[in-house]
Amino acid sequence: MRKLSNILALALISVTLGTCAQAMESFNEAKKVLPSIYKQIDDPKTIYCGCDLSIERNRFNVDLKSCGYKVRKQAKRAARVEIEHVMSAWEFGHQLKCWQDGGRKNCNRNSPQFEIMEGDLHNLFPAVGEVNGDRSNYRFQDWNGKPTQYGKCEMIVDFKGKRAQPPKNSRGLIARAYLYMSDKYKIRLSQAQRRLYEAWDRMYPVTESECLRNELINKVQGNDNPFVSCQCRGQ
């Protein structure tokens, strides 16, 4: 039954979003597509905090009570869903000449390559808005910190150190998104980053929802994340 439901979901997303799979041409385009993908996933959640999501009129809504989320500072932003670049736009953008010549705005105006990278669905996840803003472009690390900032959500943002420690249930997703972006777009990672993400990839294997998400994005965007697919085939 589950395989049948997956096939039906892929058929539905194809009808909804069109039969011609192609890369997203911009981040704005990708943001419009992502809710339609998550609508096909059983029990969709935000990345990092694992809050329940619902999708109405192609917009995400978040239930903060479902994950025991406690507002740190920005109640209005916490109440909305924002689309998070797991590998931040700064991290993949600053290595491009357009960024070096004029930052993100210049890349958006003058670099089709950056637009495709910015809109790549494999790197985009719904997140609690406040957490998305707090994380900023900080790199992920694990320093065995104790989470206290967001209630039962175990995300930690170290503003002084400009780093973030994600909950264990999101580390596999993060690792495979980073490794994918690095491989596909030739984004340089430090040795420490690569070791961390390769370790998280091994320690936190794919889930059924992650496999389905990967299939749905492949259907729409025209390519899979091989770091996800290879594990899904082995299940």
Rounded distance between C-alpha atoms, residue 235 and residue 231, angstroms = 7
Is residue 207 within 8 A of residue 111, CB to CB? The reply is no
pLDDT greater than 60 at residue 37: yes
Q: What single letter denotes the amino acid at residue 50?
A: G
Is residue 193 within 8 A of residue 88, CB to CB? The reply is no
pLDDT greater than 90 at residue 3: no
Give the residue-averaged pLDDT of 91-118.
Answer: 95
Share of the chain above pLDDT 70, in %: 91
Is residue 48 within 8 A of residue 153, CB to CB? The reply is yes
3-state secondary structure 175-215: HHHHHHHHHHHCCCCCHHHHHHHHHHHHHCCCCHHHHHHHH
Cα angle for residues 219, 226, 107 (degrees, 5° grid) = 75
pTM for this predicted structure: 0.89
Identify the residue whose tokens are 């995300």: 155
Is residue 104 within 8 A of residue 93, CB to CB? The reply is yes
Residue 28: strand, helix, or coil? helix
pLDDT greater than 80 at residue 19: no
Give the residue-averaged pLDDT of 210-235.
Answer: 94
Six token digits for residue 218: 């492949």
Where do the domains of the chain lie?
Answer: 2-234
Q: How many CB atoms lie within 10 A of CB 63?
A: 12
Give the residue-averaged pLDDT of 104-123.
Answer: 96
Give the residue-averaged pLDDT of 184-213.
Answer: 97
